[in-house]
Amino acid sequence: MKKLINRPEDAVKDELEGVAAAHPDRLRVHIGPHFIVRADAPVQGKVAIISGGGSGHEPMHGGFVGMGMLDAACPGEVFTCPTPDQMLAATQAVDGGVGALHIVKNYTGDVMNFEMAAELLGDEGVEVEQVVIDDDVAVKDSLYTAGRRGVGATVLAEKICGAAAEQRRPLADVAGLCRKVNANARSMGVALTSCTVPMAGKPTFALGPDEMEIGVGIHGEPGRERRPLATAREIVEALTTAIVDDLPLKRGDHVLALVNGMGGTPLMELYVVYNELHKLLGGRGIAVARNLIGSYITALDMAGCSITLLRLDDELTALWDAPVNTIGLRWGA
């Protein structure tokens, strides 16, 4: 295992200490239980938005805490769901008095623990809405999931809901927008290599030198099929066709296209992928009105990418364009 870490068991703590040391102007980091909140939290009168999940997907979620996006993130150990007490403490730390939205990727442990946290918060008089993101079209059920996995649409939901919360829209509206994003977004990924979990010390799965895993999960869960390595054009065709058919997208639709790196893939390759995606969608009469290209929801050091398409309307577009100021996404601020 080749990683820039100290002891594998300290990787998450060391990372969080690094985040705390780097960004005291914008974030407060609490170690034990671990959570990250925006420096100006709680923002009174604003719906608080909290997300979380296993570590190893950086910048998600901690890198999306800040004005216009999340109020708090709860990082678990690598690929391990955070605990209810983390979610409880994080939500209490950012509660602005008008309720909280929990954005939860659809993995069984995450959903269960966020539900427990919501119950505890309800007992204390904090209104919580939970929205589960399940945008990955690759497989119906998976290693850690009943139903579809939550992946790239989470980034888009956090941005769009964050913008709505900044406008002081009420909890029901913000949660409704989150459901709208999830309903209109689909994703699929591909792995060229496995990832390696620090505590495991060896690759999560075996992939031959000329193989790729189409439909891989962000923890290395199996996808739809293992195939011989193909060109970027063929890979984009496979991922995009699955997404477009599932949503479905039709001629005349406008989309936001996220081309996401899995952690071990350089930006150069993501632009090659975007080029193919742009051409393919154009050929089907689907306009890419907005795009986001980079590594936003990763799987440790996995080489590969995912594509997420979100069908846009004027409301979603305006919220996407609104200012945001986080480590991972920043514009207009």
219 is catalytic: yes
Q: Is 266 in the site for a copy of itself (CB under 8 A)?
A: yes
Helix (H, G, I), strand (E, B) or coil at 125: coil
278 is catalytic: no
Exposure class string for 294-307: b at 16+ Cβ within 10 A, else e: ebbbbbbbbbbbbb
Q: What is the footprint of a copy of itself within residues 43-82 (CB under 8 A)?
A: 55-56, 58-59, 63
Query: Between vectors from CA 104 to CA 239 and to CA 135, what angle results, nearest 5°?
Result: 20
Listed ranges 9-17, 106-114, 128-136, 140-148: which one lies at the site for a copy of itself (CB under 8 A): 9-17
Closest approach, Cβ 261 to a copy of itself, in A, equals 9
Q: Is 295 in the site for a copy of itself (CB under 8 A)?
A: yes
Q: Which is nearer to a copy of itself, 61 or 102 (CB)?
A: 61
Q: What is the DSSP string of 242-309?
A: HHHHHTT--TT-EEEEEEEE-BSS-HHHHHHHHHHHHHHHHHTT-EEEEEEEE-SS--TTB-EEEEEE
Residues 6 or more apart whose Cβ sits within 8 Å of residue 213: 190, 191, 205, 207, 222, 223, 225, 226, 304
Report the distance separating Cα 207 and Cα 309, nearest Å: 27
Closest approach, Cβ 24 to a copy of itself, in A, equals 11
Listed ranges 82-90, 149-157, 219-227, 261-269: which one lies at the site for a copy of itself (CB under 8 A): 261-269
Q: Which is nearer to a copy of itself, 52 or 99 (CB)?
A: 52
Listed ranges 64-72, 82-90, 108-116, 224-232: which one lies at the site for a copy of itself (CB under 8 A): 224-232
Q: Is 217 in the site for a copy of itself (CB under 8 A)?
A: no
Closest approach, Cβ 132 to a copy of itself, in A, equals 25
- Of 158, 180, 301, 319, the one binding a copy of itself by CB under 8 A: 301
Query: Between vectors from CA 105 to CA 76 and to CA 128, what angle results, nearest 5°?
Result: 90
- Of 305, 307, 309, 310, the one binding a copy of itself by CB under 8 A: 305
Q: Quote the strand ranges of the chain, DSSP E.
A: 27-30, 35-38, 48-55, 72-78, 100-105, 128-133, 185-191, 211-214, 225-228, 254-261, 287-294, 304-311, 324-325, 330-331
Q: Which of 23, 34, 57, 61 is catalytic?
A: 57
User: How many chain residues interact with a copy of itself (CB under 8 A)?
Assistant: 59
Rounded-to-10 torsion of CA 33, 65, 26, 55: 50
Q: Which of 23, 34, 61, 219 is catalytic?
A: 219
- Of 264, 297, 307, 320, the one binding a copy of itself by CB under 8 A: 264
The residues of the shown chain that bind a copy of itself, judged by CB under 8 A, are 2-7, 11, 14-19, 21-22, 55-56, 58-59, 63, 192-193, 209, 212, 229, 231-233, 235, 263-276, 278-279, 288, 291, 293, 295, 298, 300-301, 303-305, 330-333
